[in-house]
Each structure stands twice: as C-alpha cells, then as structure tokens.
Chains A and B, each alone.
Chain A
C-alpha cells in the first residue's frame, strides 16, 4: 500500500544529485586542498548560514584525513547541500546525494553479484561506471541508512529520499549471468526471445533482492517519501511493462509514499504501461529541456509540456513533479518563465494540488552557484504562480 502525504499545491522539491564541492572531493580522494577550496567552504558556509561551519574549515586545514574524518567531511557536505536547498526555499529536500559516489555505482557497490567493468560515455564528455551482473543478487547492507539517519537529525524541511530503481540498475549493467554468448547462425528471433527472457529475470531479481529490502530498511528508520529514480525506464520501448512490473515488485505492500523520476525520454512511450503503476503517487518528469524559453501559457509557447495531459488522465490521479529547470544548461530560468510553465500545467490539470515543481533532473552537472540561482528562481516563480492563482 502506498501511503499518501498531504502536500500543499505547487509543492517544490529537488530531484536528486548536486555537484560535490571541491573540498569534499579532494578530501575524500586524499588530494591536497588549496586556498580556493577553503574559501569555497567558507563562503558557502557563510552564505547558507551553516551552523558552526568554522569547525569544517578547521578540519579541512588538518590533512591528511583519517577514515572517520573523511566520513565527517562527507556529512558536512550533506549539511551544506541540505542548507542550499532549504535556503533556496524548497519545501522538500535531501542532500544532493553527497555521500554517494554516483546513483548507479553506489547501489551496485553495496550489492552482491556485480563486478565493475569500467566507464562509458553518457553524453558530451560525461562518463558513468558500469558493472556486470555475474552471480546471485543480494543486498550486502542497506546503503542509504546512514545518510538518511544523519539528514533526519539536521533537516528543517521534509525529506524525500532518492533511490535508484531496479530497471535502471539492470539497464545500466552488463548481463554476464543470465545472458549467454550465442551462435549467430541460430535464428535471430530465437536469440532475441532468449535475451528478453534473461532481461526479465535480471530486472525482477534486482527489484526483489536489492531494491525492496533497501526500501524496507529505510521505512524502518522512519522514511515517509521515497523517490524511485528511473532515468533508464523508457530505454527499451518494448520493456515498459517490465519497468512497471519492477516498480510494483519493489514497493508492493510497503508503507510509504512512493514516487518515481523519469527524464530525457519520449514520455509518450510510458502510456499505457504506467496505468498499472497506481502505487506511484507522483511522477517527477523533466520537460524544460524540450521547451522554449519564451514566456507564455499557450500550447505554442510550451512545446515541451504537451505530453502532460497523459499524466493528468491517469485514473489513479498521481501528482506531477513538473520539471521546469533545464539541468544541462547554465541558462538561469527567470521566475517569470517558471511561473508560465507552472501556470500552463495548472491550466492543463485544472488542479494545482496535483502539480509539484522541480528541476528536470538532479543538478550535479551544474556549479553550486548556477544550481542555487536556478532553484531560487524556481521557488520565486512558484510564488508568482501562487499569486496569479491566488492560492
């Protein structure tokens, strides 16, 4: 059963990752810090009024760092990111995944059954690491508990935990367990059928043996809203049903609010498959990347948002986390542009209660300066929309 959390109309939240500060990256890697790193820690600590940030500065001046000190620096990084989001005015926050290596790598590194294979390009000159499944999959240890417990102790705003979903983990992995080298002289149709069956077994094993126990553990610690991140969900057009099955297998019967994040896809592909995903109470979806930067609330001015009607018409009436910030560009969306994107969505849905407002995706490819400006303008734009709607 997916629990409902009663949220105000046009709720704002982040989606997931933020860039990691230079001082955090260097300290963790054992590299020397310079004055620029210390100044970054000082200036953001001051700007975000991070309590006792001078203690971090003192710590950073005492390299090399022990394992415990590195963990402490990671927690400082979490605290800074949390304060950045709270300071930008977001209603629901997390820590920009400061304690994780990366959304995929972190998950498979806490899992039995995977081996690292190296990195591959995602886009431009951005790379991500890939692993191969080589044996039975099981959770080595719950891998978000420590960060969540810490964030509960320091957050002022409500928390939403981003967790990488089963389909994406499987899709971003090589399969050396279920899939086999086949003789290309065999009929292609038969080879394809075997490949698809192997894929199904793989994805559902990740759901049942990795994602679900990890979610269960978080719920035991008091987690109320968990966002299952599925940027890979629509990768294979003929596997949307498998994506839905994997989501349902991951969350069925667990007592929390579950949402999912989708991005950089042809969102039309998700329909009708997600009609069966009624335990998903919110879809956080990136649209700004496809939209124009002109002001206006007509269909012509908002080409990136035409597909939202399909989310509106889902019978179980989930909220839509409306992506209004292009996370692959340093362009700072004005509050007015955010306002118009929000007003357009409210017009289409006819109910501001079903619209939440978010960036398109995690902001980790942007500097903190850019991310902060974007988020501040996002909350300012939502305020303008609220004034227009008188809510």
Chain B
C-alpha cells in the first residue's frame, strides 16, 4: 500500500464520529443501500453548528504515514440525513461546518489523500440541478487544501456521470469498476482516477494477472493524471480474513503494474 488508514474500525457507521462531534445522537436505523449493513440516520434539523473537535476522524498513532482519510461526501451526507431543510443548502452547510473542520483535522493528522465516499450518487443518481451545489460544496472542501481530494462514486454505474464528475473541483474521481464499464471512462483525464478494481462485496479473490491487466489498461487508455488502485467500495462487508487477502492482492497487483508501467 502507498496510503494507509485504520479501516474506520471504530466507526459504527460512516456518519457516527461526525454526529458525535456535533453532539447529536442518531436514532433511526436505516439500511445502507443494498447491503445487510445499517446506519443510524443523521438527524439534522435546525442550524448546523461548527464542529470544533472532530478528533474522532483522526486515526491513532499506530497507523503508518502517509495516510488516507475517508469521510462521507457532502452530497451523500445531506441525502442520507433526516432533515426538514433544503438538501442542497444543507449540503453546503455540512461542507462548511462539519466536513471542512474534519478534513483539516485529518490533514493535520497526516492524511495526504481525502477520500470522500459517495455511494448515494452511484446508487440513486443525481438531479441535473444538484450538480452546481455539489460543485460549490466540494469547492469549500478543496479550497487551499494541502492534500489530494478524491470524490468516489460507487454502488452504481458512474459512466453516465463521467463528464459532470470531471468538472467537479476535486483532484481525483473514484469509480466502481464492478458496476462501471471501463469503455465509458473516456481518455486523457486531467484528474486522477481512483479505480475500484477489487470487489469489496465478493469473497472471491481476484486473479492477479487479470487485476494487473485492468490496471495497465486503465493507465494506457484512460491516461489519468494519477492512477490510484483501490477496492470498489469499503471492505467492511467482508470478514477480516477475506479483506486481508484482498488488500494483499491489491498491493501485489499495484506493485506488478508499477513495474510494468515503468519498463
């Protein structure tokens, strides 16, 4: 691996440390997309307070550096919340008051890649009018950020959204290649590509040769500014032993792909 995280093992769900930092105790249990995992829906009524102590998002000292920090994207956060507010306004407010302080804390804690998860966009899609507010919210997070900001769409086909995704103010776009056609990614990206090539929902271990070939294919055809190899989604749907084997396979494939590209 080139970047490390603690796997969010202490997080009960992707929103929980942030809700803790807001002093809000979530209640309603909701299915996490099409998985057998559930999250407590953030209850976000009224004005959002500025988070002043987002320590819960920073891994402990045992995690090696450089680190990657994973957080919910403002789009997903605003859509998954129980709220009576306008969701686009809420999205921008969450970016300013909650996510930016959390990102700053993560960067101060050694994060060089900020990985924003967005299964919502992949699974449910996005309305045309929501792209501009999403861009605004991501702009809040990207402004003078001393780390790479990645926006990762998964649990769905990113193909129909590629043009819009490339216009977002982030450094890299993540796609779920279990759901997305490689051919739809186009070529000559001026952003990084976070390529989800390991299936985080299947216990079948990917073939090494096949994974290396896919990585090479992406490097040759999509030609992103940077290519990041990762799983298509979080690995929390896998038992630890299976996840470990997949991470090892990913590292092995990345090492081999780098050798081949550098030749």
Contact = CB atoms under 8 A, between A and B. Distances in A.
Interface of A: 117-125, 128, 130, 132, 171-172, 174-176, 179-181, 183-185, 187-189, 191-192, 232, 234-237, 264-266, 289-290, 328-329
Contact of B239 (A120, A181, A234): A120
Given A118-B242, A176-B204, A185-B182, A290 B36 contact: no
B238 A120 contact: yes
Nearest to B236: A121
Contacts of B183: 187
Contact of A184 (B34, B39, B177, B204): B177
A174 B203 CA distance: 6
Contacts of B39: 123
Given A176-B203, A185-B217, A289-B28, A123 B210 contact: no
B127 interface: no
B204 A181 contact: yes
A124 B12 contact: yes
A116 to B, nearest CB: 9
B114 to A, nearest CB: 23
Interface string B50-64: 000000000000000
Nearest to A130: B239
Nearest to A117: B239
Contacts of B238: 118, 120
Interface string B13-40: 1000000000000011111001111111
24 contacts: A118-B238, A118-B240, A118-B241, A120-B237, A120-B239, A123-B12, A123-B38, A124-B12, A124-B13, A130-B203, A171-B36, A179-B202, A184-B197, A184-B210, A185-B213, A187-B181, A188-B157, A188-B178, A188-B180, A188-B182, A192-B179, A234-B31, A264-B30, A265-B31
Contact of A117 (B28, B31, B35, B242): B242
Contacts of A119: 239
B36 A232 contact: yes
Interface in B196-214: 197, 202-207, 210, 213-214
Contacts of A132: 203
Nearest to A129: B239
A289 to B, nearest CB: 6
A121 B39 CA distance: 11
A117 B203 contact: yes
Contacts of B13: 123-124
Interface string B232-263: 00001111111000000000000000000000
Interface in B152-189: 157, 159, 177-184
A125 B205 CA distance: 26
B37 A123 contact: yes
A184 B28 CA distance: 37
